[in-house]
Each structure stands twice: as C-alpha cells, then as structure tokens.
C-alpha cells in the first residue's frame, strides 16, 4: 500500500521524511548565512527539480520558495521543471563539477526538461559563500566574534586557493608529465565518439530487428 | 459504533449524543498544553508525520484547503504559504478552546491573510458542495462520533479530483512493537499527562480511543464506502500512525 505517484516507492516514509527535513534544515541554515545565494535561489522560485537516484533508489524534489528557502520533498505529483536520473556517483560528480553543463553532456546523468534550472541550482550551492561573522558576533560579542570570523575567512580562503592550486598541479602532472590521463579536449572528443558509436549501434540493432521481422513475415507467406 | 444509540468513548460505552460533550471535555482540559504534550508524547515525531501528510497533499498556489480538527494549526500554518494569496485555508475545529489557542498561535507567528477559522462539526460541514481541493484531518477522526457520516460530509465538500488525507493513530504491524507501544500508552502516557498537563484521564482516553479506532484496512474500506476513489494508506513508524488518502 505504499505506491506513490511518479513511480517512486517509499518503504519507510517517516524515516525518509525525517532525513529530508534534516537535510532541508541544514541547507537553509547554510543559505541564511550566504545572502548572495538566497537572492540567486529566490530567482528560481516555482521551478521544481526531480532528482531520481537509481543506486541507492531515492527520489527527491527540490523547490525554491519566494523567501529564498529550499524545500525538499520525497513526494510531489505536480509538474516538474527538470528531471535528472542517475546513480549517486553521477550526482556527486555533478555537485563537484566546475562546469556542470559539460558534466551533464558527458556524464552518466539522464536529463528531461530544462537544464537551466539544474545548472542554476548547482551554481547556487557551489558558490555558497558563508558569512560566519554574524553568528559568531551574536555568540561571542563584537571583538572576539570579528577576530575569529576574520581568521576563519582567511583559513577558508587559503584552503580554497591551496586546494585549487594542488588540483591544477596534479592535473598538469597527470596529463602533461606522467601522461596518466588524457587532456579534457581529447576526453570530450572521445566521449563524443563513444556517443556516436552508441547511436550507430542502436540504429544497427534496430535495422537487424526490422530485417528479422521481414524475414519472418516472408517465411510465413 | 456498537448500535444506533450507543458509541464508545475510549473503552466506555456511552450514549451517542453524549460523546461530543465528553470529547469536548478532554480537549478543553488539554488545549493550552496540547503542543507541548504532542512533542513530549511522540518525541517530536508528530512533526515528521505531519510533514509527510503535507507532501502527500499536493497542495499548490490558488488551492482551497480545509484542515478539520485543525487544533493548534500545525498543518494550516504550512498550507497557508503553499496556497498563497490567491488560495484559501480553513482551519476548522469543533472545540472553541482549541480553535482559540490555534488562532492566537498562528497570529503570533504572523500567519494570516488567507487563513480562516471556523468552529464546525466534521459530521455536518458548513461549506458548499465541491468547494475544497484538499481536506486534511490529523488525529481527529477517532474523536468523531459517527465517522461514516463525517467521511460522507467531507466527500460532499471536496471538489471532484480533490483529495482527502486522514492522519491517524493506527495498528502497529509488528507484535513486539505493538506490545511495547501498549506498555508505553497505558503505563507512561497518563503519567506524562498528569505531570505536564495536570490531567491523566484525558491521556488515558487518548490511549483507549486509539485502540478503538478502526485499523488501516477498515478505515480504507470506510473511505471507499463514503465514495472516495483510489484509496490507499502509508504506514509510518511501524504502523503506529497511518496516513490514508482518497480522491473524489
């Protein structure tokens, strides 16, 4: 008795809903500390994203409201702006990606509807710039809160720069020096070839099937 | 209901026309402590049950929603922003004290504009036919004297294509959980009620009324008999609570 519209099934609705409520509360707490992200999210009001994870099987619906808050739902039977299907690894790749459009084209995700809403939502979270100063000042007072926030900001900026620099250097080493990985352009071209091959083999399979059916019909006569 | 003249009030057999007064006595007694008690008794899980009910409601901007036995307005507060200025949410309760506590609470939280309060009996809803897009009744149906009459009344005021959601205590599926739940309901609940709300009898009634409420399949059948279509239910927390859904 647990069939729900849109083809998803909830085995343990209370647990599922509790998880979503916790994730929603965490996401909105982070958003409240990043005013720029709230503004960007407000612009997405009314757009509903359906994320269908096939492994593990979880479907969730994301919707931004007029206050710039994010609503997460496990059940939604209204019209969906964008539907994305894939494994957890595919979604993780998209979340980490610097170029979500390229990841959508080359990755394993299947997309229905507008990709703009998805890439905009991804950008909101990847560009999340949390301002720790307000909660720290509230908790510790003006002087200590400001000092700690400045230190935290410096540490976060430094670790971001260091991580970016390390990634660039590793990438360069892997592609240019050790030749362990192909350059992105070559990879994209390879993905394109694979895609073409997949389409051609599908078409060939279809033709063979048609020929088989024709042969069967001729044999029956 | 045992026969036309008698019904149950918890485990007691009472005259049908007495039940509404007895239920009113229970809710008059607990109205001001209702929210605290809900959080204490369910360890806050009632919020998750209600959240899932709202997800199933499919309510959108411009919809008309009726929340029967809405009490302190948990569901109505969520529906009001979902329906927007062009929509309408009616919080109905038979008990004036509960309605008054709910109205004060929602006004204090700034929920207003498209929200209306109506003191109404679920068995005789004072609304036009085919009026609401969605009707919810959370933890209220088991207190209604004639549940079949109430379900027919809800069916009448629901628009064709609209949906009814009944969130109510039900029967746990696992025998072990059922035993633990019984021990909690009859051993712990009345004591919490005595300590926090100063009233153990009302919480004894709560435990008894849950046991007397129809199980999942019986309630689904009652909804179908009242005219609802595509009726289904979702068990939550092992079947301690179930949300039933039916369409007109």
- Residues 6 or more apart whose Cβ sits within 8 Å of residue A154: none
On the question of a cis peptide bond just before residue A152, with omega within 30 degrees of 0, the verdict is: no
For residue range A152-161, what is the model confidence (pLDDT) as tens digits?
A: 888 888 888 8
A160 and A99 belong to one structural domain: no
How many C-beta atoms lie closer than 10 Å to residue A73's C-beta? 20
Cβ distance B155 to B149 under 8 Å?
Answer: no
A42 and A110 belong to one structural domain: yes
Q: Domain ranges in chain B?
A: 44-171+216-247
More confident residue, A2 or B85: B85
For residue range B153-193, what is the model confidence (pLDDT) as tens digits?
A: 999 999 999 999 999 888 888 888 888 888 888 878 778 77
A12 and A70 belong to one structural domain: yes
A92 and A104 belong to one structural domain: yes
- The parts of chain A modelled with pLDDT lower than 70 are 1-11, 129
Residue B79 pLDDT more than 80? yes
A19 and A34 belong to one structural domain: yes
Q: Using CA atoms of A135, A132, A44, A110 in order, give the dihedral in degrees to the nearest 10.
A: -130
Query: Which of A10, A13, A16 is the mutation pick for testing B, counting most B CBs within 10 A?
Result: A13
What pLDDT is recorded for position A5? 43
A8 and A114 belong to one structural domain: yes
For residue range B44-57, what is the model confidence (pLDDT) as tens digits?
A: 888 899 999 999 99
Give the closest-approach CA distance of A142 to chain B in angstroms.
30
β-strand partners of A82: A49, A113
- Taking alpha carbons only, the member of A115, A98, A104 closest to residue A49 is A115
Give the closest-approach CA distance of A65 to chain B in angstroms.
9
Alpha carbon distance B102, B104 (integer Å): 6
- Tell me if B55 and A77 make a contact (CB, 8 A cut-off): no
Cβ distance A107 to A99 under 8 Å?
Answer: no
Domain boundary among A129, A144, A170: A129
- Tell me if B234 and A2 make a contact (CB, 8 A cut-off): yes
What pLDDT is recorded for position B32? 67
Q: Give CA separation, A61 vs A36, A71, A78, B170, B196, in Å.
A: 23, 8, 10, 28, 39
Alpha carbon distance A82, A159 (integer Å): 34
A34 and A88 belong to one structural domain: yes
What is the number of alpha carbons within 13 Å of residue A69 lying toward its C-beta? Answer: 11
Number of domains forming the structure of chain A: 3
- Tell me if A78 and B58 make a contact (CB, 8 A cut-off): yes
- Taking alpha carbons only, the member of B163, B9, B72, B244 closest to residue A2 is B244
Burial class (CB in 10 A: 0-12, 13-18, 19+), B7: buried
What pLDDT is recorded for position A151? 85
Q: Hunting for tokens 């890439």 — which residue is that?
A: A119
With contacts defined as CB-CB under 8 Å, which chain B residues touch A77? 58
A163 and A200 belong to one structural domain: no
- The predicted model gives B94-106 an average pLDDT of 87
Alpha carbon distance A76, A59 (integer Å): 10
Residue B3 pLDDT more than 60? no
Show the tokens assigned to B98: 């509960």
Alpha carbon distance A99, A93 (integer Å): 10
Query: Which of B234, B238, B239, B246 is the mutation pick for testing A, counting most A CBs within 10 A?
Result: B234
Check which CATH number belongs to the domain holding A56 and give it: 3.30.1050
Alpha carbon distance A46, A71 (integer Å): 11
- Taking alpha carbons only, the member of B166, B197, B211, B192 closest to residue B43 is B192
- Residues 6 or more apart whose Cβ sits within 8 Å of residue A92: none
B82: closest chain A residue by CA:
A65
Kindly report the backbone phi and psi dihedral angles of residue B5, in degrees, each rounded to the nearest multiple of 5, phi listed first: -90, -25
Q: What is the torsional sign of CA A78, A79, A80, A83?
A: positive
- Tell me if B233 and A21 make a contact (CB, 8 A cut-off): no
Show the tokens assigned to A30: 């982070």
Stretch (H or E) spanning B83: helix B74-83
What pLDDT is recorded for position B4? 59
A5 and A105 belong to one structural domain: yes
Q: Give CA separation, A59 vs A125, A139, B73, in Å.
A: 19, 38, 29
Q: Hunting for tokens 């908790």 — which residue is that?
A: A139
- Kindly give the pairing relationship between strand A82-86 and strand A48-54: parallel
What pLDDT is recorded for position B1? 44
On the question of a cis peptide bond just before residue A88, with omega within 30 degrees of 0, the verdict is: no
- Kindly give the pairing relationship between strand B241-247 and strand B158-169: antiparallel
Q: Hunting for tokens 């929602």 — which residue is that?
A: B106
Stretch (H or E) spanning B92: strand B88-93
More confident residue, B193 or B100: B100
For residue A134, the SS3 value is helix
A49 and A144 belong to one structural domain: no
Q: Using CA atoms of B178, B179, B184, B186 in order, give the dihedral in degrees to the nearest 10.
A: 100
For residue range B114-144, what is the model confidence (pLDDT) as tens digits?
A: 999 999 999 999 999 999 999 999 988 988 8
- Tell me if A65 and B81 make a contact (CB, 8 A cut-off): yes
What pLDDT is recorded for position A38? 81
Correct CATH for B44-171+216-247 of 1.10.1670.10, 3.50.50.60, 3.30.460.10, 3.40.50.150: 3.40.50.150
Cβ distance A61 to A80 under 8 Å?
Answer: yes
Q: Hunting for tokens 């039900």 — which residue is that?
A: B170
β-strand partners of B246: B164
What pLDDT is recorded for position B29? 66
Q: Give the rounded distance of the alpha carbon of B210 from its chain centre.
A: 12
Containing domain of residue A33, as a range? Answer: 1-129
Cβ distance B238 to B173 under 8 Å?
Answer: yes
Show the tokens assigned to B93: 């309760």
């Amino acid at each position: 008795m647990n069939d729900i519209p849109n083809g998803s099934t909830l085995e343990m609705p209370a647990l599922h809903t509790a998880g979503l409520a916790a994730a929603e509360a965490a996401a909105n707490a982070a958003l409240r500390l990043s005013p720029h992200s709230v503004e960007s999210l407000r612009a997405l009001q009314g757009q509903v994203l359906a994320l269908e994870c096939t492994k593990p099987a979880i479907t969730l619906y994301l919707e931004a409201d007029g206050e710039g808050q994010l609503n997460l739902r496990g059940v939604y039977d209204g019209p969906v702006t964008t539907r994305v299907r894939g494994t957890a690894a595919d979604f993780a790749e998209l979340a980490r990606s610097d170029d979500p459009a390229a990841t959508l084209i080359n990755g394993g995700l299947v997309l229905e509807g507008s990709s703009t809403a998805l890439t905009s939502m991804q950008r909101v979270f990847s560009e999340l710039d949390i301002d720790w100063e307000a909660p720290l000042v509230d908790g510790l007072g003006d002087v200590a809160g400001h000092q700690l926030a400045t230190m935290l900001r410096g540490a976060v900026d430094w670790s971001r720069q260091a991580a970016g620099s390390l990634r660039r250097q590793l990438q360069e080493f892997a592609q240019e020096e050790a030749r362990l990985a192909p350059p992105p352009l070559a990879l994209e071209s390879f993905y394109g070839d694979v895609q073409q091959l997949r389409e051609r083999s599908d078409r060939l399979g279809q033709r063979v099937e048609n020929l088989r059916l024709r042969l069967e019909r001729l044999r029956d006569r | 209901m045992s026969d036309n003249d008698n019904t149950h009030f918890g485990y007691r057999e009472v005259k049908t026309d007495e039940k509404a007064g007895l239920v009113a006595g229970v809710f008059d007694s607990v109205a001001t402590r209702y929210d605290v008690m809900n959080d204490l008794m369910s360890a806050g899980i009632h919020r998750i049950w209600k959240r899932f009910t709202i997800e199933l409601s499919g309510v959108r901007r411009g919809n008309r929603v009726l929340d029967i036995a809405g009490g302190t307005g948990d569901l109505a507060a969520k529906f009001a922003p979902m329906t927007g200025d062009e929509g309408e949410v009616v919080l109905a309760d038979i008990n004036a004290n509960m309605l008054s506590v709910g109205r004060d609470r929602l006004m204090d939280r700034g929920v207003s504009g498209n929200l209306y309060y109506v003191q109404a009996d679920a068995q005789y809803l004072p609304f036009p036919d085919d009026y609401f897009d969605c009707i919810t009744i959370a933890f209220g149906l088991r207190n209604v004297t004639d549940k079949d009459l109430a379900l027919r009344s809800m069916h009448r005021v629901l628009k064709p294509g609209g949906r009814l959601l009944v969130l109510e205590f039900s029967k746990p599926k696992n025998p072990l959980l059922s035993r633990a739940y019984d021990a909690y309901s009859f051993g712990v609940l009345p004591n919490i009620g005595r300590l926090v709300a100063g009233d153990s009898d009302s919480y004894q009634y709560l435990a008894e009324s849950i046991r007397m409420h129809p199980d999942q399949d019986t309630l689904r059948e009652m909804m179908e008999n009242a005219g609802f279509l595509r009726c289904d239910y979702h068990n939550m927390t092992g079947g301690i609570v179930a949300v039933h859904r039916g369409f007109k």
